[in-house]
Amino acid sequence: MALELNNYHAKYFYDPVAESFEQGFWDAVKQKKLVFQRCTECGEWSHPPRPMCHKCKCQDMEWVESSGKGKIYTFVIFTREVHPMYRVPYEVVVVDMEDEKVRFISNMIDTDPDEVYIGMPVEVEFVDINDEWPLPWFRKAK
Amino acid sequence: MTLKNKACIAGIGSTEFTRNSGRSEIHMAVDAALAACEDAGLEPEKIDGMVRFGSAGQTTCEFTTDADVARCLNLPNLNFYSEAPWGGGACCSTILHAAMAVSAGIAKYVLCFRSLKPASGTVRYGRPTAVPVDSHWSYSMPFGFSSPTSWVAAFTNRWMYETGATNDDLGMIALVCRENAVVNPRAIFYRRPITLEDYYKSPMLCTPFRMHDTCLENDGAVAIIVTTPERAKDLKQTPAYITGVGMGMADDSFCMTSFYRDKIGIPEMKYAGKDTFKMAGLTPKDVDVCQFYDAFTSLVPMQMEALGFVEEGEGGAFVRGGDRIRPTGELPINTAGGMLSEAYIHGMNMITEATRQIRGTAITQIPNVEVSMTTGGLGVPTSALILTKG
């Protein structure tokens, strides 16, 4: 079993609170696009977003759509429930994105805990968790 | 100009450590403060400075203010008051703040304290009552990545993958801390031994952590009085000199979720440790006993690597079998039971144990201690401390 939708998603999930410089990320999520921040001057990536490029200090950052492909850098399997929104067991994965120099935290769908390993190729899939919000989850790469 | 040996710990005090204190954080803070004054032989009214725990970007039970404590102790004035932030990372920072204040003549007697009651109070760690989806938590909480156990488990899993450290190695930290707690009447797990079999039988919470990999959740308070060596001469106790102390934040930091660095690790402790050893003019080889912050078992061998007690990747092998880290070993650790088995007071109880090791009054006293070290919490900006006889 991996993370599955249950009634509590609609009940407990509420709008992420974003700073102005993060808004582009969540606007894109609503459109089922995974985007990351890149500096238009020096090309440095940033996630989570920053108000400016931490390398060259330029404030002109752009949103670039991700290929959605990556490899698992590390992961955990929750086996003890901490919140009813998340029925155990479920996996949290920390993914090194393949085409953007960023790391992204998410969950696995359609994947047994025993199948998950460090280095595993994965790809993003958006799942509607309630009427308003899709979330970028991951599955085994095809 | 150095802070080395310009200040010392002159008094330590605590409440009992329990699962249900039956009283408020403020009440426990004041009880611990009075115990520290009694220990030092200091009239409470002489306290003129205070350091409390600040926030970790969100509240982690920092409910008692300096004003609350000052009011209960009838203090006429505080010349100095500050906050050390970042949860358990703050413990040795409070001592750094206090040492700076007394050595610079800003205050004469500074009280550092921590009071918390996650066992019976309104806020429990690791049990989100809702899903706090704000600020940077928006990138982890919606995915059920929502407990300190899981955050440390994630970078522990990677560390085990890279170094070959095993579950047996983690279990050995739990066992050695428990062995030390079993003989310590203050410890919550006093007279309650465990075996490696018990460790493996304890419920898996979040891979690779079982219940016995995680620290206690309890009520209690600890207070520590810092003054100058000159003033300490008029007090009761042998002073524990603050010979080295340091803080570190490292790059790309978040509260417990600094997962975006090339190598996650615990670089905060590398920086804090480097400054601490440099100020003291000492190396890990000089340390006679160390209280390693042990909110989770893996953090002990990981810190041994970060601080240079062992080479990178050798922490698991060093603790294997446990004999090197037992009281009779080459690097005795967490001699009162640590936060895995004595009590979880955000590292402040570890500083009191480090102080007792210098005084020669610990229950599990290591012979001939000259250099006694303590470290702060991991996964957050942190701190480290070396105490000596001056």
Task: State the total domains in chain A.
Answer: 1
With beta carbons less than 8 A apart as the criterion, state whether B121 and B377 touch: no
Write the residue in A13, A79, A92 that is nearest to B145 by C-beta.
Answer: A92
* pLDDT tens, N- to C-terminus, chain B (390 residues): 899 999 999 999 999 999 999 999 999 999 999 999 999 999 999 999 999 999 887 666 778 999 999 999 999 999 999 999 999 999 999 999 999 999 999 999 999 999 999 888 877 776 665 555 566 888 998 898 988 999 999 999 999 999 999 999 999 999 999 999 999 999 999 999 999 999 999 999 999 999 999 999 999 999 999 999 999 999 999 999 999 999 999 999 998 999 999 999 999 999 999 999 999 999 999 999 999 999 999 999 999 999 999 999 999 999 999 999 999 999 999 999 999 999 999 999 999 999 999 999 999 999 999 999 999 999 999 999 999 999
Q: Which residues from B are below 8 Å from A6, CB to CB?
A: none
Q: Work out the angle at residue A87's Cα, subtended by the Cα atoms of residues A83 and A93, and round it to the nearest 5 degrees.
A: 90
> Would you call B138 and A118 a contact, using CB atoms and an 8 Å cutoff?
no
Specify the 3-state DSSP secondary structure of B19. Answer: coil
- Considering the entire predicted model, what is its pTM? 0.96
The Cα of A20 is separated from the nearest Cα of chain B by a number of Å equal to 11
Our CA dihedral for B184, B185, B186, B187, rounded to 10 degrees, sits at 60
Asked about B293 being catalytic, the answer comes back as yes
Residue numbers of the domain that contains A99? 4-140
Write the residue in A26, A48, A82 that is nearest to B128 by C-beta.
Answer: A82
> Would you call B205 and A80 a contact, using CB atoms and an 8 Å cutoff?
yes
Q: Which residues from A are below 8 Å from B207, CB to CB?
A: 76-77, 79, 113
The Cα of A57 is separated from the nearest Cα of chain B by a number of Å equal to 15
Structure ipTM over 0.90, yes or no: yes
Q: Which residues from B are below 8 Å from A127, CB to CB?
A: none
The Cα of B221 is separated from the nearest Cα of chain A by a number of Å equal to 27
> Would you call B133 and A47 a contact, using CB atoms and an 8 Å cutoff?
no
